[in-house]
Amino acid sequence: MSIRTVRVALFAGLLLPWGAGSFPAEASVIPTASLSAERMAHTATLLASGDVLIAGGFTDVQRAARSAELYSPVSRRFAPLPRMVVPRHSHTATLLADGSVLIAGGYGTNGDPVVAVERFDPVRRRFEPAGHMLDARAGHSAQLLRDGRVLIAGGVGPGWTFLSSAELFDPTRGRAERVASMSVPRESHVAVTLNDGRVLIVGGHSGRRAAMRLYTSAEVYDPTQQRFTRTGDMRIRRHKHDAVRAADGRVLITGGADERDDQGAYRSTEWYDPRTGVFSLGPMLTRARYKHERSSLLMQNGDILIAGGAAEPEVLEAKTNRFRAIPSGTPLAGQFSAAARLPNGRALITGGYGNGEGPRALAWEYVP
């Protein structure tokens, strides 16, 4: 691989020194500073400042974390933050229009789903109580709507109940209101906001172990009608997959697994076309991957980075419509990692577990 030295990097409109560092001309993954704690099932959210908020997660001591930290792409280091209001993992983090981040649900210290909602204030750099959902839930989805409210759907409730319920949370009032339920209970599903403001909900499962039922089904939430409508079915039933909206407005569904989890992980992908409501098979991944929700990113050049779910990431090249593996000197953790696009064109990949190891504190930057 050829190497070229870069003396300065353009970031946030300013020329910032990268010191004596150099990076490959070809796409690669390079280690960066470690997290302050081992984490999996945490969240990574890009803030308006260009920093990335890392919140919560499942730690090495097998409990939900209250800790949080900020990653600076300039210094390439993590800085600790005041603790969250509630310990949680498998929660959602939604960037709001005012620049704050809404943290909802997840599993708490005792393993029960959390009903509390909190908000990260990027100016004061602290977490504050923000109200409650109508239902305690974890493993749900949360998408920001154009009116500023957040659609929260599905997940697991108390006593391992699988939820079809959905609610709209209003951050300005700290209150939620019930909307029509989904057609089926869903957990380990994915949600993507479409170009027209509707929200696509895809796949997932209900039930546990022998009673588990995986879905090919998908549905679309219409904010004007406040209800879900069934759309076309996927070609393959899948859960623990990921989805991301491409530059042309279509949605790419990647990986996932059947009931056997790691023994049944997929290399297959599908495209969803919002104009027709039809799924079609996409190109094959270079690696089977699952448990990688919210780790797929549309990059500035139109390529799609699939950052989680396996020991190395890969990129769907917009020009060729083919996946290309990205080399990494250190194997990524893979499952339940968290990723965020950076303003300098790179991406941050954090934590996760896999490859025979539990939660990890390692972090990497993807360099296009």
Listed residue (354, 305, 294) closest to 330, CA to CA? 354
Identify the domain containing residue 312 by its residue range. Answer: 24-81+295-368
192 token code pair: 């993507």
Any domain includes 348 = yes
How many domains does the chain divide into?
A: 1
Any domain includes 347 = yes
Rounded CA-CA distance 334/307 in Å is 8
Q: Looking at residue 25, what is its pLDDT?
A: 54
Half-sphere exposure of residue 85: CA atoms within 13 angstroms, side-chain side: 20
Any domain includes 368 = yes
Angle, CA of 228, 113 and 100, to the nearest 5° = 70
Q: Looking at residue 305, what is its pLDDT?
A: 98
CA gyration radius, the chain:
19
- The amino acid present at 126, given as its one-letter code, is R
Angle, CA of 250, 274 and 196, to the nearest 5° = 95
Any domain includes 242 = no
Listed residue (247, 299, 287) closest to 271, CA to CA? 247
Q: What is the pLDDT along the chain (368 residues), one digit of tens a residue?
A: 333 333 323 333 333 333 333 444 589 999 999 999 999 999 999 999 999 999 999 997 778 999 999 999 999 999 999 999 999 999 999 999 999 999 999 999 889 999 999 999 999 999 999 999 999 999 999 999 999 999 999 999 999 999 999 999 999 999 999 999 999 999 999 999 999 999 999 999 999 999 999 999 999 999 999 999 999 999 999 999 999 999 999 999 999 999 999 999 999 999 999 999 999 999 999 999 999 999 999 999 999 999 999 999 999 999 999 999 998 888 998 999 999 999 999 999 999 998 888 999 999 999 99
Rounded CA-CA distance 296/241 in Å is 10
Any domain includes 41 = yes
Angle, CA of 125, 129 and 133, to the nearest 5° = 130
Cβ neighbours for 211, distance < 8 A, ≥ 6 positions apart = none
Any domain includes 86 = no
Any domain includes 35 = yes
Any domain includes 133 = no
